[in-house]
Structure 1
Amino acid sequence: MSHDPQMAARVWRGMRTLVLDRFDRRKEVTAALDMSFIRAKALRRLAAEPMTMRGLAAYLTIDAPYTTLVVDDLVRRDLVVREVHPDDRRQKIVTVTPEGEKAAAVAEAILGEPPPAILDLDPADLATLDRIIATLTE
C-alpha cells in the first residue's frame, strides 16, 4: 500500500479543523457547567472511574499543584470527593458524587451530539466514515 504524506497531512488538518475549529463543543460545555473545560474533562474522566490525584494529573497532562486547584474547585461544588486511598494512605483518590455524575452526563451529551455536517452526510458516506474512524481508533 503506497502512502501519500501530503494527502495524509491534508486529511489530518481537515479532521482537526472539523473537530477543534468548526464544531468545537468545549465552549458549550463550559457554559452549561459554568466551569473551565479542564475541570469538565477531569469530571468526565472521574465519572468513568475514581482516580488518584497523581493519575488524574497524568491524564490531564497538568502538574500536581494545578490538579489540586482543579479538584479543590470540584470538591467545593460538591461534584467530587477526595479521600485517602484505601490501599495506599500516602495517596488521595478522587471519586465523583451523584451531582458530579449528572454534570459529567451533561458534558458527554453536549460533546456527543453530532454536528449538522455529520448528520447531513449521505448514508453511504457516513457508513464509510464510520468504518474508517473505527479502524483509526482501534
Structure 2
Amino acid sequence: MSDAPTPDEVWGQLTHLVMDTRDGWRRAVVERTGLPFSRFRVMKRLLPGPISVKQLAHAAAMDAPAATVTVNDLEERGLVVREIDPTNRRCKLVSLTPTGRELILDALATPDPAPSPVAALTPAELRTLAELLRKLEE
C-alpha cells in the first residue's frame, strides 16, 4: 500500500489553498471597483476579446438568463457593449468598453500576497513548487 496521495486528494489541497485564502483579495477588488465580485469575474473573461452572451455564460459557469442580467447591468454602467457579430448577424458579441478594460486592469493590479503557508516555504521549496506548477501548466 502506497503513502502517495491520489491526484484527487492533491487537487483538493490545491483548490482549498487557493479558493479559501483569497477572500481578502476579493474584498479589495470589490472595494477598488465598486462592483460585486461576480461582475468582476464576468468582465475578466472579456479581456481577450468579444464573445457572445452564450459563450460568456459558459465561461463564467452561469446560465444564459443570469449572464444576460449581468451584461445588462454592466452595459448600464458603461463597462461593456453589445454589438452585432459581423460573421453572424443574428448573434451579438459582448466586449469591454475602454472604461471597462481600464477598470479590470486596475482591479487585476490589486495586491494579492501569498497566503502564510506559501510565504513560509523555504527558497528551495518554492523553487520545487514553482517547477511542479510549471509542469502542470504544460
TM-score bracket for the superposition, by shorter chain length: 0.7 to 0.9
CA distance in 1, matches of 2:6, 2:60: 31
Higher helix share: 1
| Aligned-pair Cα RMSD in Å | 2.3
Q: Secondary structure at the match of 2:93?
A: strand
Q: Secondary structure at the match of 2:83?
A: strand
Q: Is the 8 A contact 1:79 1:96 kept in 2?
A: yes
**Alignment coverage as a number of residue pairs:** 135
1:31 maps to 31
1:17 maps to 16
Q: Is the 8 A contact 2:57 2:64 kept in 1?
A: yes
1:67 maps to 67
CA distance in 2, matches of 1:83, 1:67: 16
Amino-acid identity (%): 37
Deviation beyond 4 Å, 4+ runs, structure 1: none
Q: Which runs of 5+ in 1 are unaligned?
A: none
CA distance in 2, matches of 1:66, 1:22: 27
TM-score, with length taken from structure 2:
0.83
Q: Is the 8 A contact 1:51 1:93 kept in 2?
A: yes
Distance 1:18 1:116, change over 3 A: closer
Q: Residue type of the partner of 2:98?
A: P
TM-score, with length taken from structure 1:
0.83
* Shift, 1:134, TM fit: 1.2
* Shift, 1:4, TM fit: 2.6
